[in-house]
Structure 1
Amino acid sequence: MTDSSILVVDRDAGFAADVARSLESAGCETACAAGPCAARQMLAASSFGLALVSAGPDPREEAELIRSLGRDETYVEVIVLAADPGAPEITSLYGCGNVYSIRSRAREGLVDLFWDVTRALERRALRRQNARLLIELRDARDDLRDQFEFLAQVEKVAAVGRIALDAAEQLRMPLAAMAAYGDYIARAVGASTEPWTEERRQTAVDYARGLEEAASQCLAVVRALRTLGGPDCGEAEPTDLHEILCDTLGLLRHLLDSRRIAVHARVSPEPPIVAAAPDRLRQIVAHLVLNAMQAMPEGGTLTVSTSALPGGGATLALQDTGRGIEPEVLAHVFEPFFTTRPLGQGTGLGLLVSRRWVRAWDGDLDLANAPGGGAVATLTLAAPAVALPQPGLQAAALAAVGQESGLQAA
């Protein structure tokens, strides 16, 4: 027997033989079983693609047989032959997924049985083909996942290499300066026989300060590396975004005024409550404001906008009126140690670490060129898991604090 063989199951052996001969005359390979028990024995010994099962006096035995044939490992298509195929108890008992059709058991109703048999076998062939394709698809998915994990590990190794090279470049100049300054101071102090003139003393002081400054640059790189390796994003909690914004702008008010930068606020009427660590969020907002200030060395306008998201959470956008960001620079702003500032004035990790913190809170940070000119940093923050126990700052309160912080209503 093969996958296209047909098993005729009927308690009436003569009827089963007649049906089998009819199908064999059409070129089908058949076998007969006198009831469900005999059918199970034959199914255990041979492979069949289709079973013609006649509903007996107690149709529950046949129904149990049909359900067993619907399992994936032993799937067989079934055509049910019943005295009354439209009876509710027949359709409810035999309405299984592997039942192709329910037909009349009357001999005159078997005239076009061959067509149902052909279509049922075709459906089984398609099902088996789909099952094979599904297995191949799962195998391909597993292979892709393994390759992705391998590539991710390769990328991590490559990233570590790039970070090490960048860190070495960041440390090279200050370490060379430290060596030169230290050598001069050692020689100046060691030469006790020479007169210690005021000029010589001042030079030694300048070199000592240079040594201290170079050491500070090295420490900044080391701290940045430690932050990059395992940034502490803090514990996310319900946080009033307006309050964070007012605090940060208030701290930077004098610096904004000295750079001739006006701040325009476009804030949501209700206080946006977001999931974030307040201290870390203040650092992120301050970093974004300082970046915007750097983009406007001749002064300009910083537009600060907040808006609530439909599903909860909020966005904070900071747009400057600078020259914008060159495309080749924009593609690398979130890479470690990438900075456009002069050597010693930035580690190139602020945006990267900020984005990591925000993503740890289920948010995101993006940087793009604004349509009207300048650049815009967009901070998207998720809604907190629990509500803030007390109301946050309303828009009016933000405006009041903003007046003290140099804010102007847009």
Structure 2
Amino acid sequence: MLKQTPYILYSDGQGNIFEDTSMIVTGRSGWDAYPIEPEEWIELPDGGNLYELPGRRGIGINAETGDMELCDKGWAVAAFVPPAHTGFYLAAYETLPDAPTLPLFCYTAVGWLDGKFYVPATRIESDIRQECAGFDAKKVKQGVKTLLQAYPHNRLVQHLAENCALTYECPAARNYFMGRWECPIPSSPACNANCVGCISFQPEEETIVSTQDRLRFKPTAAEIVEYTVPHLETAPYPIVSFGQGCEGEPLLMWETIRESIIEIRKHTPKGSININTNGSKPDAVKFLCEAGLNSIRVSMNSAQEKYYTPYYRPNNYKFEDIVESLKVVKSFGGWTSINYFVFPGMTDSIEEYEALRKLIRDTDLDMIQWRNFNIDPDWYLGRMGITETGECMGIKQLMELIQEEFPNLKFGYFNPPMERITGDYSKDFAH
């Protein structure tokens, strides 16, 4: 544990970041800035990045007087916390008039102490599948070359290679081309939600852009089966996952997915077949479970309908449908997770805590994947019309209370392989 809270950082606007030892860094929860206890800090993990926040002044605590003040030496600084880690506080700052909207990344508080960067966060997942140090660019490129030659007419393999692995350096796609772990199956160019922070499509009139291009074609079951069966047969801790960041909603392609699952299982019993989804079509989920779907991960920004709906802006489905989809998978003995977007000041509110407890009880949920919410905090709260976030307990305490009440509920960041689902959760995974 640190002996003191780190110092605030600022940027000069030219790509240089400095510490200001006259000010202690604070963290943001909801709209407000708070002191952060020394025990909540960890060293910035490998793979983390620092962001300059233009048009924003960091909020710190004067080391001499103890008063909260603005750091006017430069722009505020935030950290990107890499996968497998969950942040406890956002970067605290005051936004100036005409400041640009921030791109769709996470903005965790960050400070400097004794020659190191620190963030208020925890390692929530032991699986190493997206560790920065674990990727070998040469092996990825060789895998791309080999698999494009093996599947010269497969549009999905080409998309995963050229769009995902080589252009956006998607960790899931890169792992596929390195022959290991979870293999992505983007399958739907269309969506039945209009998420405020969608990472694959944003209307032209928006002030932000999507972070990647969306799939532009409907793959066939034959294309899906062709490259996923060999992966399930040969990869360690193999998973194939429908539903990726570069597509819309996979359940809109459920007939193709069902056909694919049936055909995959004709060729191999190995590995886990998973779907990442908004859970909008429980009837379709039932058909997929009957075909052999093993697990589901449903994304949500909130366990409360009143916050879920204005963010997802669903077409022809309701919050109750996503709850039902989780129940359907459990009824077939499958593994259920929620992809829970963590926003300090919202996720840890007393009201949200009670709603999350109810969701866990009602669905007999297996796992929470505590994901950092990639969105401009001001923009998100503004678009949602949220001016007050209510009483909050802190993300760290929220996690502790949930784990205490539901000891069998697993915490993590990634979809577990079948070995972990059926075996020892504490050790049967990529490590």
Larger radius of gyration: 1
More helix by share: 1
Q: Select the structure with the greater relative contact order (CA < 8 A; seq sep ≥ 6).
A: 2
More strand by share: 2
TM exceeds 0.5?
no
So what's the TM-score if we normalise by structure 1? 0.22
